[in-house]
Amino acid sequence: MNARSAKEVVFRGGRLADGRLVDLTVRDGVVHVVQAAIPSSPDDEDLCGLLLLPALVDGHVHLDKTFLGLPWRSHRAGPTVRHRIEAEKAGRGDLGLSVERRALNFLDRALSRGTVALRSHVDIDPACKLDHLHGVMAAREARRGRIDVQLVAFPQSGLLTAPGVSDLLDAALREGVELVGGIDPIGVDGDLDGHLDAVFGLAERHGVGVDIHLHDPGYQGALELRAIAERTRVLGLGGRVTVSHAFALATIDAKTLAITAEALAVAGVTILTNGPGPTPLIPIETLRAAGVAVAAGSDNVRDAWSPFGNADMLERAMLIAYRAGFRTDEGLATALALATTASATMMGRPSHGLAVGHVADFIAVDAETPAEAVVDRPPRALVVKAGRVVARDGSLVRENVSA
């Protein structure tokens, strides 16, 4: 008789980052034992010495925007944020695939590449109202248990300048959306205090987190960052507020950077980057050294904003490392941490990684070290979500996937 519990799975012969070969026992979806050579069973999953890494976590996507599943669409938008907002709205009508279908395509691709949790912003504006949100929620439901999806009610076209959006955000939060979004309080809405009053007012009223897109450049952007940090500190929202992009941090002088970084660190505001080009990259190491949490996400994946992106966070880690000049093993490990543990922490999942007591979310890849995995981006031989194999050799394990 097999003495093992029916809910126990053993992953045999995986290699940890420090080179140790281990057998991983998972019980009820949680890592229970990590040790060399426990008694074997025919049901074990043999990892054949593959490298084990924490599962990937994508801290910033737009599930409702992607064209995945559609024929190639040429990029048409102009160079500014406003150009892209308008080009995207103009093209919405002729997409031919529902938000739900395109979001499913995104989720399946992300999962096959080892992402088991992601945060998606969802457009809410006077034209689409909550339609995109409902499409994304349906996709989230269809993949529940395989990939965890956290949603941000995102006022892409502005909050104060677009009529009725504040009420729509309120309605989205009543439907259980986890975070309220914002966008360029000065650049889009032209009213820093008014925008932040609305965003943080909604956060307080609904007890949710905040994630603000900030493209505003230079000293204006830095001023906005400090205002966001101050609101976060006063409201005690540390650890629950993210500023995505924060391009301003890349172009201000060292003294202003130090003051701004300190304000962000004290308040507990996370900065999220996708390593964008050609915009100057934020100073990741300086921020981390100052105590600022930095996380990573894909942002746009083949949509009206960008033809680039493939929902692969190992590739995103490589792009960030490449742009940041991270060449040492430590630097490459930092890039990987942004795409795994740091993004998980931002999403309120601090126990992410291959340790006893943590949820068994991990990937196995053919690489010698984490640094090589970032540089090479090998196919994901195995993707494991809460102890269950959900993808193998880059393809989804299809049982229980309805569509």
User: Whole-angstrom Cα distance, residue 125 to residue 381?
Assistant: 41
Q: CB of residue 318 vs Zn ion: minimum separation in angstroms?
A: 20
Q: Which is nearer to Zn ion, 154 or 200 (CB)?
A: 154
**Interacting stretch for Zn ion, rule CB under 5 A, among 36-44, 122-130, 132-140, 295-303?**
295-303
Nearest Cα to 342, choosing from 292, 298, 290?
A: 292
Q: CB of residue 58 vs Zn ion: minimum separation in angstroms?
A: 11
Q: CB of residue 313 vs Zn ion: minimum separation in angstroms?
A: 15
Q: Which of 58, 64, 211, 299 binds Zn ion (CB under 5 A)?
A: 299
Our finding on whether 303 is near Zn ion (CB under 5 A) is no
Query: Binders of Zn ion among 145-184, rule CB under 5 A?
Result: none
**What are the backbone dihedrals phi and psi of residue 208, each rounded to the nearest 5 degrees, phi first?**
-115, 170
Q: Which is nearer to Zn ion, 23 or 299 (CB)?
A: 299
Contact (Cβ atoms closer than 8 angstroms) between residue 216 and residue 184? yes
Residue number closest to Zn ion, CB atom: 299
In DSSP notation, 182-206 reads EE-TTTTTS-HHHHHHHHHHHHHHH
Q: Which is nearer to Zn ion, 51 or 272 (CB)?
A: 272
Our finding on whether 58 is near Zn ion (CB under 5 A) is no
**Interacting stretch for Zn ion, rule CB under 5 A, among 262-270, 299-307, 312-320, 340-348?**
299-307
**What are the backbone dihedrals phi and psi of residue 311, each rounded to the nearest 5 degrees, phi first?**
65, 25
Our finding on whether 64 is near Zn ion (CB under 5 A) is no
User: Whole-angstrom Cα distance, residue 108 to residue 68?
Assistant: 10
**Interacting stretch for Zn ion, rule CB under 5 A, among 129-137, 185-193, 298-306, 376-384?**
298-306
Nearest Cα to 269, choosing from 230, 295, 239?
A: 239
Per-residue x/- marks for Zn ion, 17-36, CB under 5 A? --------------------
User: Whole-angstrom Cα distance, residue 281 to residue 270?
Assistant: 16
* Residue 340 to residues 142, 193, 349, Cα–Cα distance (Å): 24, 34, 10
User: Whole-angstrom Cα distance, residue 169 to residue 158?
Assistant: 11
Q: Contacts with Zn ion: how many residues (CB under 5 A)?
A: 1
Interacting residue ranges for Zn ion, rule: CB under 5 A: 299
